[in-house]
Amino acid sequence: MSTDQKIIYTETDEAPRLATFSFLPIIKAFSDAAGVQVETRDISLAGRILASFPEWLSEEQRIADDLAELGRLTQDPAANIIKLPNISASNPQMLAAIKELQSQGYALPEYPEEPQNESEQDIKVRYDRIKGSAVNPVLREGNSDRRSTRAVKDYAKKHPHSMGTWSSDSKSHVAHMSDGDFYASEVSATMPEDDVLSIVLHSGDRSETLATGISVSAGEVVDAAFMSKDALCQFYDEQIASTEQGVLFSLHLKATMMKVSDPIIFGHAVKAYYRDAFNKHADVFAELGVDANNGVGDAYDKIESLPEAQRDEIKADLDACLATGPDLAMVNSDYGITNLHVPSDIIVDASMPAAIRESGKMWGPDGDLHDTKAVIPDRCYATVYQEVISDCKTHGTLDPTSIGSTANIGLMAQKAEEYGSHDTTFEIPNAGRIEIVNQAGAVVHSHDVQTGDIWRMCRVKDAPVQDWVKLAVERGRITGSTVIFWLDADRAHDAQLIAKIEAYLPNHNTEGLDISILKPAEATKRSLALMRQGKDTISVSGNVLRDYLTDLFPILELGTSAKMLSIVPLINGGGLFETGAGGSAPKHVQQFEAEGHLRWDSLGEFLALGASLEHLGRVFENSAAQLLGETLDEAIAEFLDSNRSPSRRVNEIDNRGSHFYLAKFWAEAVARQDKDPVMKERFAALAGKLAASEEQINAELLAAQGESVDVGGYFAPNPELAAKAMRPSPTLNEAIDSV
């Protein structure tokens, strides 16, 4: 075990990365007083790209593979990592990041969509490893404990966010497949012993090994499922044709994290809606390399290279599909950016709660809100959103001033159920029979598949399941909340987990606890009923559903999931502290570049830092670190009560102003305590400086707003330019740097 008292603070992407330039000096000013080192590691999309191609870069341009280092660190009982939201890159985001880095002088290779040789295949494999959920599986070596703190919940009750008014005659609803999806085809088994698996596709008299050397352990749950391309395409045609007048057609997927399956599912929707244009111009699109999996925006972008007359004809045909098809939900109606434009714009865990918060409505082409048909093809979890909609139609809008909380214990350690972003998900190249075969040659699972079907194998190891059950019981005992395992006995994977839960629950003291296992739809109903009574529940779920629930309920309760405390107790004893969702980060950066106003709310970072310091204080018996954690909690409560969060509007308090007030309240909290006289004296001086200079600091921070800002890059900002932009108050900087 390492004896260094250290916090690793991750540098990520977009708004959180910009905010770090402002907040990190404040963190270090406080942590230094407790003998705690704060170091950074770059796990941004740009950083991961550069680390993957060292031989293409000059010596001074090369950077370490920080993600791999942090993966190793998660095994250390002394690990203490604060992980900010990062880009789970879709293909368009990857291409944009490569282009930006090339423009900055990095001689990176182009991304080869269709590799022509071994060298290009190697390049593609390296880039593909970076896409999707590349960070989370490496760092999440523990299960998730995600909840709102008392201070945050109290603030939400005192200052409720706006909620749309639901009507019983709302036409908003969820549409999902009834056959041919992953749910229908899933098979699952628990491995009786350690083994090595291969995935083989038999097509006629030819066999192709798609993957081999897959090590599994005794007790590990191994699933296989596929989505039928034909059934999916038929489903899209039916939903497009049946969308009522006045109701928006909207698609909701997870095309960034589920980097193999969901981009393909997205592409089929694009081709179904724009079928006439894609069929008419198939040859031109093929020549241009238009990829529907990247969204219809890929077609609009690539036709710009054509002669004017040809470009205008194709654009008119694409636009004609919009005129003849059902109205699409819009990402930005001012710029004509539709729900089918870019896959990373319709992330289901963020897009569906936002729509439900707006009384089931989304923005239409006319710039107004309309009822919505939410298309979520696979039915594994689509029913959750339909139940929330049905509940709101029946009982009305949820009231943030009175509803209870729904926390989550999520099964995610050791890549549990890792989404379909893994390397055992395939688009079937030829019709045949696909088999999972063990090292003795026995078939574990098999499916008959057609060309274009999407097949995947997912796995969950036994040790994480045991830890997950233990964590759920512990939180239930600490809080007294109702504990609900969200599992469907009629689904193959869930049936295996239910058997494990029934075996492991007796190992724990469950006396007096309200613990149940319910199908996701039924769990949704019960959780909402308890919430409306002001009671709290703990949802205990697998990894994918964890991702959905930890946005759904916080957005309804708190207005945003960024205000949730997210702790990952690492199985080996360390701690990973996550800081909330980053789905709105791109819009925040765009506003900052245009107006010099960053509305990113760093509350998630504040909460994670407090939990990190308290964890470090316990592990190392560092009373000063423990004190900093406790006083930070006090500061956060005062920060919320005084409403110092960033405003959405320019020339009002932004992210940098919120950091100033957090520092002020924190210094004052340390100065008030009597446990540590040295800390008291040290931070009384800082508190005095900040209080005396409050007016001047605010004036300097507000003076930095109102004009465009260039930080040298979106994916890879220039550190000097970003630091200058994010620390524009000389008075604040002098006070912090003097501690």
Question: Over the stretch 21-43, which tens digit does the pLDDT of each residue have?
Answer: 999 999 999 999 999 999 999 99
SS3 assignment for 490-520: CCHHHHHHHHHHHHHHHHCCCCCCCEEEECH
Any domain includes 371: no
- Note whether 130 and 222 are same-domain residues: no
Residue 377 lies in a domain: no
Instruction: Examine the domain organization and report whether 140 and 196 are in the same domain.
Output: no
Query: Which sign, positive or negative, has the C-alpha torsion 97, 99, 102, 104?
Result: negative
Last residue of a domain, one of 417, 441, 459: 459
Distance CA 177, CA 232 (A): 8
Residues 135 and 73 reside in one and the same domain: yes
> Tell me, what amino acid is at 637?
A
Same domain for 438 and 582? no
Number of Cα atoms under 13 Å in the Cβ half of residue 47: 23
Same domain, 102 and 12: yes
Say yes or no: 86 and 211 in one domain. Answer: no
pLDDT of residue 133: 77
- pLDDT given for residue 1 in this prediction: 44
Asked whether residue 575 is assigned to any structural domain, the reply reads: yes
Report the C-alpha gap between 476 and 535 in whole angstroms.
Answer: 13
Q: According to the model, what pLDDT value does residue 113 have?
A: 87
Beta carbons within 8 Å of 551's beta carbon, 6+ residues apart? 349, 350, 353, 561, 581, 583
Establish if 727 belongs to a structural domain.
yes
Q: Do 348 and 252 meet the contact criterion of CB atoms below 8 Å apart?
A: yes
**Among residues 353, 18, 364, 416, which one has the least CA distance to residue 161?**
353
Answer yes or no: are the C-beta atoms of 345 and 220 closer than 8 Å.
no
Q: For residue 436, list its beta bridge partners.
A: 199, 445
Q: What secondary structure, in 3-state letters, does 539-579 show? A: EEEEHHHHHHHHHHHHHHHHCCHHHCEEEEEECCCCEEEEC
Is position 431 within any domain? yes
* Cβ 372 vs Cβ 355: under 8 Å: yes
Q: What is the pTM of this model?
A: 0.86
Q: Which is nearest to 197 in space by CA: 440, 516, 411, 509? A: 440
State whether 204 and 119 are in the same domain: no
CA–CA dist 12, 14 (Å, integer) = 7
Examine the domain organization and report whether 619 and 716 are in the same domain.
Answer: yes
Same domain? For 84 and 145 the reply is yes
The span from the CA of 679 to the CA of 673, in Å, is: 9
Q: Which helix (H) or strand (E) holds 692?
A: helix 677-692
Last residue of a domain, one of 439, 459, 479: 459
- Residue 608 falls within a domain, yes or no? yes
Coil, strand or helix at 211: strand
Q: What is the DSSP code (8-state) at residue 338?
A: E
**Residue ranges of the chain with pLDDT lower than 50?**
1-2
Residue 35 burial (10 A CB sphere; 0-12, 13-18, 19+): exposed
Coil, helix or strand for 480? coil
Domains contained in the chain, number: 2
DSSP tag of 586: H
At 304-343, the pLDDT tens digits run 999 999 999 999 999 999 999 999 999 988 888 999 999 9
Please tell me whether residues 83 and 213 are part of one structural domain: no
- Decide if 474 is inside a domain: no
208 shares a domain with 130: no
Query: Rounded to an integer, what distance in angstroms lies between the CA atom of residue 700 and that of residue 732?
Result: 9
Nearest to 5 by CA among 607, 626, 616: 616
For residue 193, the enclosing domain spans 188-227+409-459
Q: Burial of 691 by CB count in 10 Å (0-12 exposed, 13-18 middle, 19+ buried)? A: exposed
Of residues 251, 262, 575, the one with CA closest to residue 420: 262
pLDDT at res. 584: 54
Q: Choose one of 431, 459, 487: the last residue of a domain.
A: 459
Is residue 493, in this structure, part of any structural domain at all? no
